[in-house]
Amino acid sequence: MSRKTRRALKVLVWGICLTPLALLLYRFWSDDLGANPISYVTNVLGDTTLRVLLASLAMTPLRLMFGISWQMSFRRLLGLFAFFYAVLHFTVWIAVDHFFAWPEMLADIRKRPYVTVGFTALVLLMPLAATSTTRMVKRLGGRNWQRLHRLVYVTGILAILHFLWLAKKGRQEPFYYAAVLALLLGVRLWDLARATVRRRRAAAERARPGRTIATAAAPVESCPES
């Protein structure tokens, strides 16, 4: 992909990710946030967090399923946008919903399972956002970084639980999001199983006695100078 196309796609991703915030600000400015503005703003920010989080989680399964990789360079950007919206969602809860009543908020986190789970999801996103730079990848080492960033799947599961727990009976959307996450996790697990089978086969192949002799003999037999 050319640099120009990549830049255009990056602008598009920024535009798509910032649109929900721009619409919220426009609705706020035109006094059109509905009968319960706090709930409306919290919900829009929560929905956006979940959508962007799932979009960031979809990048690797897309590569695995269709063999395309151009989208991989947007994974970090999408992850950071998910964190950005989660922080805004949380800030509205702290500053507007509870007006900095810390004891009340702590009691809420302890008492209400959907708040506990949402809070845990946000806390898990923090180390991921903090280690998203290239410098941090180098500092942690590729393997450790990858292991740490698998936490994003736990965050995804917690985010879905948060939504399932708070949604009123009969609401379908949390189940649609849960289905998307299950599909994405399914693709990753399928790939993991495939890689494990391949690794085991290769190990078994290496361990076969005949193969060891053939490998040892190969350079001598094939060396034109000897």
For the bound state, the minimum distance from the C-beta of residue 190 to ligand HEM, rounded and expressed in Å, comes to: 25
196 by DSSP, 3-state: which?
helix
- Helix H, strand E, coil C: the string for 103-160 is HHHHHHHHHCHHHHHHHHHHHHHHHHHHCCCHHHHHHHCHHHHHHHHCHHHHHHHHHH
From residue 163 to residue 182, what is the string marking binding to ligand HEM with x (rule CB under 6 A)? Answer: x--x----------------
For the bound state, the minimum distance from the C-beta of residue 22 to ligand HEM, rounded and expressed in Å, comes to: 19
Per CB under 6 A, 122 contacts ligand HEM: yes
Burial class (CB in 10 A: 0-12, 13-18, 19+), 124: middle
Choose the stretch contacting ligand HEM; rule: CB under 6 A; options: 24-32, 58-66, 121-129, 142-150.
121-129
Buried b (16+ CB within 10 A) or exposed e, 167-179: eeeeeeebeebbe
Which residue's Cβ lies closest to ligand HEM? 46
For the bound state, the minimum distance from the C-beta of residue 100 to ligand HEM, rounded and expressed in Å, comes to: 13
Choose the stretch contacting ligand HEM; rule: CB under 6 A; options: 21-29, 111-119, 203-211, 216-224.
111-119
For the bound state, the minimum distance from the C-beta of residue 159 to ligand HEM, rounded and expressed in Å, comes to: 4
Per CB under 6 A, 89 contacts ligand HEM: yes
| Residues that bind ligand HEM in the complex, under the rule CB under 6 A | 39, 42-43, 46-47, 49-50, 53, 86, 89-90, 93, 115, 118-119, 121-122, 125, 155, 159, 162-163, 166
